[in-house]
């Protein structure tokens, strides 16, 4: 079964340039549609498989053996060093000839203008390169919490991931989020403890935090040689070798690998032997085949166990996701990246080792090299490619060549005993795991520069939404204004900026507002009737319904019907009723925010023959609005999980400030010289917090925010908000 997955990014940036000096005519004839354009601006070497302009190995670009392919993502907390690590990887693999630097704004994968300006990753970028005979398709994903959806849409097409950590901070808030996402998509992982050169870096502390916070079993494949200022290399525990980076080599390309010897390194050898024995026992505990081998032949002396046997077992354990290999280094100081590449090829799976179910063919395919692309005629199973021109496809869709082939594939998968599919309906069986689209917590109005430009703005927003479903766009029914709903201040700012740069539209944003919700506190009944004659047709509906609070949390109203109603309710009328209820719940009576946690019972519904479904919806919606108005109401506000990392000396002002922001502190942890404040704070109180925190701590603190849930506002805060909204205060 074939398993090509399609990954679409940045359709806009594609242009093409023919290579003129292709010398091999036979290949040219076969690959007439192959267009190459080498990235410009930076000093690039060659595309994978091409040495200079020699295309004799073009075939290997298109179809490397599937066992030699690794589709890998890089994920982490913001600023852990993903982009820097990716830059080193590209350099050592020969993809680039000079080292890019996030701080200088010239990296390959952060190619959006906003990324280079801000030094952060916003959009995932894909690059393809070769390492020691392996083809690696690598995706660098954003770390900022506003862009978690972007991370998730990448994870579902990957076979493995490298989780990058800041070794001085260990597991941070966003790492937990992406780790959970990777769990959901069952992605085997390797951990890379980066920034080992940084003051406060601690290998043991970071490993412990992986064990405790991620509940993962770390397999220590390396030990650091020195830490912080003294960090100079790593010990390869599996092979009992030391890897030292040459001080005279600026770019870290050259390093020496030497076996650890009793004469020269007695202490290090002792520690490594202990670490290796512990690793062998740990892997044997998790893998029966390896346990049998170890107990049989090597129980007397683990030193005799060949490294390859241990590596194969680590590969199996990594695939089973019962443990994670851990490596360390410093991307910035060019240490430890080549062994990371070796580990990617050695321990992460090829596409063949993962289970995907569908065959998909697309007419135009491109191989990604960050913001540059090579058009290719076809691709074998297990690769990641780009496709362009899919006008009606949005992020999260699964593309199939035909419904019947997808069904056949699903049936084959079933025959292979995939019981879980049998329980799902046909449509679900056709889909790859979906992406969970987080609910937006902020909104603001957006205006085009002139009324004539409104269609252009609508078009731009439509395109941006297809790329990024966490961006929602709606119309305010009262003012007719376009409303942008997003994940955070930064998210909306970037969208605003992209509309300007990519669509040439200078738009105006209204003030950023928090997306509240509303609910009701008691049970209420309402009746309504609608009687209209249009032409010679009479439309008559009467309805009686009851709305009550729902115990469990649900964004959608839960609807049920009295028995007398269900008896003669047609499918079309039922849909009309439900549309009416849903539309009434989109705008609550207090703030016009969506209503949640409501159950509705339809007690009576009388429809005159010939009444249109639109009239039914309109009548039910009006009746529901009446009921909501009558009920006692409550505003719900988004509550955020907050984690602030702050040097001890600044803890007091930070806590005092949080108390004023209705913050609820759960725990204060000690992390090296820092304090980590963990708690909840209402979103409305934390807008613009980065500036305040910077001022309070002279720029030495960092924070992470994530939506926890919606909670009821207390009566006083609620009435302050309502008076503010109605312009009374």
Ligand X SMILES: Nc1nc2c(ncn2[C@@H]2O[C@H](COP(=O)(O)OP(=O)(O)OP(=O)(O)O)[C@@H](O)[C@H]2O)c(=O)[nH]1
Give min distance, CB of 180 to ligand X, in A: 17
- Residue 144 annotated as part of some ligand binding site: yes
- Residue 259 annotated as part of some ligand binding site: no
- Residue 673 annotated as part of some ligand binding site: no
Q: Is 88 in the site for ligand X (CB under 6 A)?
A: no
Give min distance, CB of 161 to ligand X, in A: 14
- Residue 142 annotated as part of some ligand binding site: yes
Q: Is 621 in the site for ligand X (CB under 6 A)?
A: no
Q: Is 81 in the site for ligand X (CB under 6 A)?
A: yes
Task: Choose, by CB under 6 A, the member of 195, 242, 466, 491 that binds ligand X.
Answer: 195
Q: Is 121 in the site for ligand X (CB under 6 A)?
A: yes
**Torsion angle, alpha carbons of 396, 401, 403, 406, to 10:** -80
Q: Give the interface segment with ligand X, choosing from 113-121, 483-491, 549-557, 716-724 (CB under 6 A).
A: 113-121
- Residue 195 annotated as part of some ligand binding site: yes
**Positive or negative torsion for Cα 62, 65, 66, 67:** negative
Side-chain-side CA neighbours of 21 within 13 Å: the count stands at 3
Give min distance, CB of 236 to ligand X, in A: 19
203 three-class SS: helix
Give strand pairing partners of 641: 680, 706
For residues 310 and 343, which CB has a smaller minimum distance to ligand X in the complex?
Answer: 343
State phi, psi for 558 to the nearest 5 degrees.
-95, 120
- The total of other beta-carbon atoms located within 10 Å of residue 536's CB is 5
Q: Are 487 and 146 in contact (CB under 8 A)?
A: yes
The side-by-side arrangement of strands in the sheet containing 189-194 is 125-131, 134-140, 69-76, 160-166, 189-194, 324-328, 218-220
Q: Give the interface segment with ligand X, choosing from 324-332, 394-402, 498-506, 644-652 (CB under 6 A).
A: 324-332
**Positive or negative torsion for Cα 285, 286, 288, 293:** negative
Q: Is 200 in the site for ligand X (CB under 6 A)?
A: no
Q: Give the interface segment with ligand X, choosing from 193-201, 338-346, 372-380, 554-562 (CB under 6 A).
A: 193-201
Task: Choose, by CB under 6 A, the member of 197, 227, 544, 637 that binds ligand X.
Answer: 197
Distance CA 268, CA 270 (A): 5
Q: How far is CA 223 from CA 226, 231, 240, 326, 335, in A?
A: 9, 11, 10, 9, 13
Task: Choose, by CB under 6 A, the member of 50, 62, 69, 78 that binds ligand X.
Answer: 78
Q: Is 194 in the site for ligand X (CB under 6 A)?
A: yes
Q: How far is CA 388 from CA 30, 361, 365, in A?
A: 22, 13, 7
Measured CA angle at 214 (ends 271, 81), to 5 deg = 75
Give min distance, CB of 494 to ligand X, in A: 12
Give the largest Cα separation in the chain, rounded.
104
Q: Which residue is nearest to ligand X (CB)?
A: 143
The 10 Å CB-count burial string (b at 16+, else e) for 574-604 is bebbbbbbbbbbebbbbbebbbbbbbbbbee
For residues 145 and 693, which CB has a smaller minimum distance to ligand X in the complex?
Answer: 145
- Residue 714 annotated as part of some ligand binding site: no
Q: Is 102 in the site for ligand X (CB under 6 A)?
A: yes
Task: Calculate helix-pair angle for 613-630, 571-585, nearest 10 degrees.
Answer: 40
- Residue 51 annotated as part of some ligand binding site: no
For residues 168 and 625, which CB has a smaller minimum distance to ligand X in the complex?
Answer: 168
Q: Is 150 in the site for ligand X (CB under 6 A)?
A: no
- Residue 197 annotated as part of some ligand binding site: yes
Q: Is 76 in the site for ligand X (CB under 6 A)?
A: yes
For residues 84 and 573, which CB has a smaller minimum distance to ligand X in the complex?
Answer: 84
Q: Give the interface segment with ligand X, choosing from 76-84, 479-487, 558-566, 660-668 (CB under 6 A).
A: 76-84
Give min distance, CB of 333 to ligand X, in A: 6
331 to 360, contacts with ligand X by CB under 6 A?
Answer: 331-333
Q: Give the interface segment with ligand X, choosing from 35-43, 77-85, 360-368, 595-603 (CB under 6 A).
A: 77-85
Task: Choose, by CB under 6 A, the member of 198, 491, 626, 675 that binds ligand X.
Answer: 198
Distance CA 197, CA 275 (A): 22
Q: Is 142 in the site for ligand X (CB under 6 A)?
A: yes
644 three-class SS: strand
- Interface residues toward ligand X, by CB under 6 A: 76, 78-84, 102-103, 119-121, 142-143, 194-195, 197-198, 330-333
- Residue positions forming the annotated binding site: 76-83, 140-144, 194-197
Binding residues for GTP: 76-83, 140-144, 194-197
């Amino acid at each position: 079964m074939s398993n090509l997955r399609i990954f679409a990014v940045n359709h806009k940036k594609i242009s093409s340039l023919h290579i003129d000096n292709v010398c091999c005519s036979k290949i040219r004839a076969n690959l007439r549609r192959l267009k190459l354009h080498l990235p410009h601006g930076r000093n690039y070497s060659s595309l994978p498989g091409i040495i200079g302009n020699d295309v004799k190995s073009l075939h290997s670009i298109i179809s490397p053996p599937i066992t030699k392919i690794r589709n890998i993502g890089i994920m982490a907390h913001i600023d852990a060093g993903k982009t820097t690590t990716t830059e080193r990887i590209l350099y050592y693999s020969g993809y680039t000839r000079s080292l890019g630097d996030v701080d200088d704004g010239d990296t390959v994968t952060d190619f959006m203008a906003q990324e280079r300006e801000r030094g952060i990753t916003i959009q995932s970028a894909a690059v393809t390169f070769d390492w020691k005979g392996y083809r690696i398709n690598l995706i660098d994903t954003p770390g900022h919490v506003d862009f978690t959806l972007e991370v998730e849409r990448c994870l579902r097409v990957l076979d493995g991931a490298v989780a990058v950590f800041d070794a001085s901070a260990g597991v941070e808030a966003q790492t937990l989020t992406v780790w959970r996402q990777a769990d959901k998509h069952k992605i085997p992982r390797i951990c890379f403890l980066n920034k080992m050169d940084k003051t406060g870096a601690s290998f043991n502390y970071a490993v412990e935090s992986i064990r405790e916070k991620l509940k993962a079993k770390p397999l220590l494949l390396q030990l650091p040689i020195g830490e912080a200022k003294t960090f100079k290399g790593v010990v390869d525990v599996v092979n009992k070798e030391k890897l030292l980076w040459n001080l005279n080599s600026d770019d870290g390309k050259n390093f020496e690998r030497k076996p650890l010897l009793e004469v020269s390194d007695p202490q290090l050898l002792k520690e490594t032997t202990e670490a290796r024995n512990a690793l062998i026992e740990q892997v044997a505990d998790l893998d029966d085949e390896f346990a049998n081998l170890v107990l049989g032949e090597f129980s007397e002396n683990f030193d005799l166990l060949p490294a390859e046997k241990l590596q194969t077992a680590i590969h199996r354990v990594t695939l089973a996701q019962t443990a994670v290999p851990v490596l360390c280094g410093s991307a910035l100081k060019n240490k430890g990246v080549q062994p990371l590449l070796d580990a990617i090829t050695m321990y992460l799976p090829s596409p063949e080792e993962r289970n995907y179910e569908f065959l998909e063919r697309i007419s135009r395919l491109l191989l990604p090299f960050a913001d540059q692309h090579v058009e290719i005629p076809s691709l074998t199973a297990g690769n990641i490619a780009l496709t362009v021109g899919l006008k009606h496809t949005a992020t999260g869709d699964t593309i199939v060549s035909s419904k019947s082939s997808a069904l056949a594939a699903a049936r084959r998968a079933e025959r292979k005993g995939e019981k879980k599919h049998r329980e799902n309906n046909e449509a679900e069986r056709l889909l790859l795991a979906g992406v969970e689209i987080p609910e937006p917590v902020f909104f603001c109005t957006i205006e085009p520069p002139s009324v004539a430009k409104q269609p252009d703005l609508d078009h731009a927003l439509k395109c941006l939404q297809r790329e990024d479903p966490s961006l929602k766009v709606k119309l305010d029914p009262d003012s007719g204004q376009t409303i942008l709903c997003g994940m955070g201040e930064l998210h909306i700012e970037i969208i605003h900026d992209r509309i300007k740069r990519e669509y040439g539209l200078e738009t105006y944003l209204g003030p950023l507002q928090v997306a509240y919700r509303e609910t009701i506190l008691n049970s209420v009944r309402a009746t309504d009737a609608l009687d209209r004659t249009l032409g010679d047709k009479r439309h008559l509906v009467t309805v009686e319904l009851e709305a009550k609070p729902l115990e469990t949390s649900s964004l959608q109203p839960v609807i049920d019907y009295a028995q007398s109603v269900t008896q003669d309710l047609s499918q079309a009328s039922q849909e009309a009723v439900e549309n009416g209820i849903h539309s009434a719940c989109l705008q609550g009576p207090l703030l016009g925010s969506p209503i949640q946690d409501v159950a509705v019972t339809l007690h009576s519904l009388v429809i005159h023959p010939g009444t249109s479904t639109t009239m039914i919806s309109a009548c039910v919606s009006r009746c529901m609005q009446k009921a909501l108005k009558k009920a006692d109401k409550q505003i719900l506000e988004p509550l955020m999980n907050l984690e602030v990392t702050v040097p001890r000396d600044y803890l007091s002002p930070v806590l005092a400030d949080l108390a004023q922001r209705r913050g609820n502190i759960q725990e204060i942890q000690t992390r090296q010289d820092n304090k980590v404040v963990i708690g909840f704070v209402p979103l409305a109180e934390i807008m613009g917090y980065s500036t305040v925190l910077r001022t309070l701590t002279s720029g030495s603190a960092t924070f992470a925010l994530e939506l926890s849930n919606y909670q009821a506002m207390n009566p006083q805060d609620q009435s302050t908000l309502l008076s503010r909204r109605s312009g009374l205060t």
